[in-house]
Amino acid sequence: MIKIEQLYKRFGKNKVLKGVDLDITSKGIFAILGPNGSGKTTLIKAILGMVIPDKGKLLVEDVSIKRNWKYRDQIDYLPQIANFPANLTVKELISMIKDLRNRPGEDKKLISLFKLEPFLSKKLSHLSGGTKQKVNLVLTLMFDSPIIILDEPTSGLDPIALIHLKELIAVEKAKGKIILITSHIMSFVEEVADEIVFLLEGKVYFKGNIDALKTQTKESNFERAIANLLTYEDA
C-alpha cells in the first residue's frame, strides 16, 4: 500500500509537486502518466526516498518513509537509464547487487529467458542499449518484493524481449503485487495497466481505469483520451 497526502516539492523557483494526493491500496498495475514537467519523475523519486519532499506525507505499508530506509527493501526499481559501472562484467554486476541487497535472487531463470548467457563475461561498456536493458530487467525482477517500479521498461527492447516483459509483469501481478509503470508507449500502457494515474501541473488530474478515462473524455480511443487530458494544459 502506498499513501500520499498533500505532497509538495520545489526546486528553486520551480514548483514541481503541488499537493499530490494519491492512494494505491489495491494490488495491480498502475501507469503514472503525464506530459514532460508534470512531476512524474519527482513523484517516483519521492516514493523511492531519492527526493525529500518539502511538505506532505508518504507512507508505504502504513509506515511513514521519513527517516526510514528499511521500507526500500520492499521495492524493486528499474531506472529509465541504467548507469552501470563500465568495467564490470554482467555476472559481476548481478553478484554485486545480490550482495548489496543481501537477498537471494532468481537471476538464472531471467538470464535464460532473455538469452543473456553469451554476455555474462562481457564488460557492461561493450553491451548494446537493448542488452543493457535486459540486464536492467534481470537486476530488478530477480528479487521478490511486494512493490515494483518500472520507469520506461520497454526502452530498447526487441519484440521478443517485449513479449517476455509483458509475461513477467503478468506473473508479478498474479502474485498480488503493486506495480507502478511509467511509459511513453501508449499501446503498452493500454495492454498492461489496470489503472491510470495522470499528473498535470504537479497534481493528480485523473485516477481510474481506462474505461473511466474514455467515459470522462468522451473518447473511444485510449491515445485520444490521453491527448484530451493534455488539452487541459493548453487551455
Per-residue pLDDT tens over the stretch 76-103: 999 988 788 889 999 999 999 999 998 8
Per-residue cell: 111: 538470464
Per-residue pLDDT tens over the stretch 130-140: 999 999 999 99
- What values do phi and psi take at 134, rounded to 5? -65, -40
Q: Return the number of other C-beta atoms located less than 10 Å from residue 40's C-beta.
A: 19
pLDDT at residue 233 in the model: 53
pLDDT at residue 213 in the model: 95
Structural domains of the chain, ranges and CATH numbers in brackets: 2-234 (3.40.50.300)
Residue with cell string 509503470: 181
Between 148 and 104, the more confident residue is: 148
Mean pLDDT value across residues 212-231:
92
The pLDDT of residue 234 is above 70: no
Write down the pTM of the prediction: 0.93
**What proportion of the chain, given as a percentage, has pLDDT over 90?**
84
pLDDT at residue 235 in the model: 44
Between 164 and 26, the more confident residue is: 164
pLDDT at residue 80 in the model: 86
How many whole angstroms separate alpha carbon 13 and alpha carbon 52? 16
Specify the 3-state DSSP secondary structure of 36: coil
Q: Are 8 and 52 in contact (CB under 8 A)?
A: no
How many whole angstroms separate alpha carbon 127 and alpha carbon 125? 6
Between 183 and 231, the more confident residue is: 183
Per-residue pLDDT tens over the stretch 156-208: 999 999 999 999 999 999 999 999 999 999 999 999 999 999 999 999 999 99
Beta bridge partners of residue 182, listed in sequence order: 151
∠ CA 123-185-173, nearest 5°, is 80
